[in-house]
Chain A
Amino acid sequence: MAITTERRLARQSKRPGRLPEKPRKSRQKSQYPMWFYIPAAVLFFTLFVVPTIASFYFSLTRWSLFDIEFIGFDNFAQFFREPMLIQGFVNTFIFGFITSGLKVVFGLLLAVLLSSQIMGRTFLRSVVFFPVLVSVVGVGITFRVLMDPFDGLINTALAGIGVDGPGWLTDPSYALLSVAFVEVWRGVGLATLIFIAGIVAIPDEYFEAATTDGASPFQNFWHITLPLVRPAMVTVVILSLIGGLRSFDLIWAMTRGGPGFTSDVIASVIFKQYQAGFYGLSSAGNVVLFVVVTAIIVPIFWFLNRKEADQ
């Protein structure tokens, strides 16, 4: 789609005289030629647009290494019939919303702390941000050891204060939440930095005026910081939802969807079905993920753009 557009436009710009609706474009050649789009458009079209559109077709087929057969909506029916696939579907929402929510809360708290005048501020910012840059698989393996039910540091420390810690990754009711917790640990640094950028952009005069009028630090936060940091908050929510809903690396490194399939999400289901050779079912998973992500992100995006247009 994009590429034909480019071609047509390229042709148009070469013969501007023949376009009656744009007579004022008398320049022979634009300084900003449309063919600048072509390399990116070719890649984007072949490796992103085509597969995305193809996934809609393949999701309606039974497709293995050897043959491909059209079966209508059977894959989707199966997706919402088999408990392990439904679980992955539900878990995607849980994981996405929990990580996004906690990143907002902790990110904002850390940002307020790290934009105030405290010692070692620069060092602390680096410390909080660094996990963002570390290999996700490395983080996953590290926490798998730290969360070991018997010898892991977390349960050893809890035992020290007399608490009997659960099997964070082996207990079905905790596994997904434990992975979500690690995802928050890993990603909160980015949220913090975005919030800091938002807080720094608030003019100091507001706080000075409010403090002169006798506002407490909490009132400052509630009535000045929180409303004015909204653009940053929207960025954090959107980014962490996009990342959280399609999250795969960390879950795969920590639990591989286990125990059983209690911490599976759509992205890991897609991989498992792919590995098992059910390519049609795997594509159906992709379509489901596509719909889920779009249905959640687009309304938020639209809402944000409308707000911007209002101002």
Chain B
Amino acid sequence: MKRRTRSILTGTLAIIASVIVFLVPFTFILMTASKTRQESAALQFSWPEQFALFENIVEVIQTRDFMLITAFINSTVLTVASVTLMVLFSAMVGWVLQRRQSRWNPAINLMVLAGLIIPPAVVPTIWVLQGLELFGTLPGLILIEVTFGLSFSVLMFRAFIAAIPRELDEAATIDGAGPIRLFFQVAFPLLRSVIVTVIVVQAVFVFNDFQNPLYFLPGDENATVQLTLYNFQSQFDTQWNLLFTNILLITIPPLVMYIFFQRQIVAGMTSGAVKG
């Protein structure tokens, strides 16, 4: 009985500690974003005396000719386009890689792992993009995000496809389906759950990406939402309320994703935990 009380006590303490450690920073963002400029300058963890969240939002949006709106459009185009291509291309690779045993499979598997491990070489990538006249353009950055996201997505698809029985392929083949119909009309619908997982996980990654837009898409008119934070920093250095309102605004899309797709995100990010 005594041991039981003690374990409840440690449990409660651990819960309180983790709530403090993980929720205080978010509360701080919310509180600072709601303060007036003078009050936020004190950097204190306190309830705002004057609630100015809506004024701050309006002001952040209007800054620098509605740069945040442009950035949200850029980020949305970037995320949607790159995730679409990523899903399509990596599902095709995962499908053939899992189904067809060729002597190239070990080499392709090695490439997939290499793409996962090796950090991309920045300046030479810019050099290639310049050669293709894609440097500093949104399409260029989209292709970059697709390339860097392929490996992870292929691994997810391959693992999932392994669980789809081959009998389905055979039945479809007997019914006269060619490779394209087999993949798009038979396999693709069966992949639905893993497709959702890949979409959600990669969308969050691409949306939050800071390094690649910084390198491959310079320029204010091209800014993605993560770069607005970076570009506003000097401007807002004395206006913490606006900086934190900006943080708050760009956190909303991932938050919404998380609320609706919690299960898929968790499944995607923890896949491989049990199998290794």
B80 contacts chain A at the CB level, 8 A cutoff: no
Query: When the two chains form the complex, which single residue of B179, B250, B273 contacts A232, counting CB atoms closer than 8 Å?
Result: B273
Given contacts A36-B183, A253-B210, 20 further A-B contacts (CB under 8 A): A2-B107, A29-B178, A48-B115, A48-B148, A51-B124, A51-B125, A52-B118, A54-B124, A54-B128, A136-B226, A137-B229, A190-B269, A194-B270, A198-B274, A248-B211, A249-B211, A274-B123, A274-B215, A282-B123, A308-B276
Q: Do the beta carbons of A32 and B251 come within 8 Å of each other? A: no
**CA of A93 to CA of B5, assembled, Å:** 43
In chain B, positions 109-126 with a C-beta closer than 8 Å to chain A are 111, 113, 115-125
CA of A131 to CA of B229, assembled, Å: 17
Say yes or no: B124 contacts A52, CB within 8 Å: yes
Question: Which residues of chain A come closer than 8 Å to B96, judged between CB atoms?
Answer: 32-34, 36-37
Q: Which chain A residues in 149-203 approach chain B with CB under 8 Å?
A: 151-153, 156, 185, 190, 193-198, 201
Would you call B258 and A133 a contact (CB within 8 A)?
yes
A156 touches B45 (CB 8 A): yes
* Residue B67 lies at the interface, judged by CB distance under 8 Å to chain A: no
Known A148-B43, A194-B273, A286-B122; judge A30-B150 contact (CB<8 A): no
Chain A residue at minimal CB-CB distance from B258: A133
Q: Which residue of A lies closest to B46 (CB)?
A: A153
Name the one of B14, B28, B254, B274 contacting A201, with C-beta atoms under 8 angstroms: B274
Residues of A within 8 A of B251 (CB): 134-135, 138
Give the interface segment out of B49-57, B139-147, B189-197: B139-147
Given contacts A31-B173, A51-B125, A135-B247, contact A198 B119 (CB under 8 A): no
Number of interface residues of B (CB under 8 A): 94
Contact string, B18-58, partner A, CB cutoff 8 A, digits 1/0?
A: 11011111101100100000000011110000000000000
User: What's the nearest-Cβ distance from chain B to residue A252, in Å?
Assistant: 8
Contacts of B119 in A (CB 8 A): 245-246, 267, 286, 289-290, 293
Chain A, Cβ-Cβ closest to B266: A193
A interface list, Cβ under 8 A from B: 2, 5, 9, 29-34, 36-37, 39-40, 43-44, 46-52, 54-55, 58, 63, 110, 113, 116, 118-120, 124, 126-139, 141-143, 145-146, 148, 151-153, 156, 185, 190, 193-198, 201, 217, 231-232, 234-235, 242, 245-246, 248-249, 252-253, 267, 270-271, 274, 279, 282-283, 286-287, 289-290, 293-294, 297-298, 301, 304, 307-308
Cross-chain contact A9 with B104 (CB below 8 angstroms) = yes
One of A37, A113, A148, A232 near B14 (C-beta < 8 A): A113
A194 — which chain B residues lie within 8 A by C-beta? 269-270, 273
Q: Which residues of B contact A138 (CB under 8 A)?
A: 29, 229, 247, 250-251
User: What is the chain B residue whose CB lies nearest that of A133?
Assistant: B254
Bound state CA distance, A260 and B96, in angstroms?
51
Residue contact A43 to B208, C-beta cutoff 8 Å: no
* Cross-chain contact A32 with B95 (CB below 8 angstroms): yes
In the bound complex, CA of A32 to CA of B42 (Å): 63
Say if the beta carbon of B9 comes within 8 Å of chain A.
no
6 residue pairs A–B, Cβ–Cβ below 8 Å: A2-B108, A134-B208, A151-B42, A194-B269, A270-B122, A271-B215
In the complex, which residue of chain B has the Cβ closest to the Cβ of A301? B113
Determine if A39 and B89 form an interchain contact, defined as CB atoms under 8 angstroms apart.
Answer: yes
Name which of B102, B119, B132, B214 has the most chain A CB atoms within 10 A of its CB: B119
B181 to chain A, nearest CB (A): 10
Pairwise interchain contact A133-B255, C-beta atoms closer than 8 A: yes
**Minimum CB distance partner of A29 in chain B:** B179
What 6 A-B pairs have minimum CB-CB distances, sorted nearest first?
A: A55-B121, A231-B276, A51-B124, A32-B100, A138-B247, A54-B124
Q: Which residue of B lies closest to A6 (CB)?
A: B104
A54-B121, A135-B229, A151-B42 in contact; A126/B262 too (CB < 8 A)?
Answer: yes
B138 within 8 A of A: no
Cα-based distance from A253 to B230 in the complex (angstroms): 8
From residue 62 to 111 of chain B, which have CB atoms closer than 8 A to chain A? Answer: 88-90, 92-93, 95-97, 99-100, 102, 104, 107-108, 111
Q: Report the bound CA distance from A209 to B131 in whole Å.
A: 65
Confirm or deny: B233 has a beta carbon within 8 angstroms of a beta carbon on chain A.
yes
Given A40-B93, A40-B150, A113-B14, are A142 and B182 neighbors across the interface (CB < 8 Å)? Answer: no
Interface-central residue, B44, B247, B273, by most chain A CB under 10 Å: B273
Alpha-carbon gap, A284 to B135, bound state (A): 21
For A130, A185, A304, the residue with the greatest tally of chain B CB atoms inside 10 Å of its CB is A130
Is the pair B150, A130 in contact by a Cβ cutoff of 8 Å?
no
B164 in the interface, Cβ–Cβ < 8 Å?
A: no
B89 touches A43 (CB 8 A): yes
Whether A283 and B144, one on each chain, are in contact in the complex, defined by CB atoms closer than 8 angstroms, is no
Q: Is the CB of A43 within 8 A of B127?
A: no
User: A51–B127 contact, CB under 8 A?
Assistant: yes
Q: Are A304 and B14 in contact (CB under 8 A)?
A: no
Whether A48 touches B120, Cβ cut-off 8 Å, given contacts A40-B150, A135-B250, is yes
Contact status A235-B272, CB under 8 Å: yes
Q: How far is the CA of A39 from the CA of B79 in the complex (A)?
A: 19
Docked pose: A156 CA to B226 CA in angstroms: 29
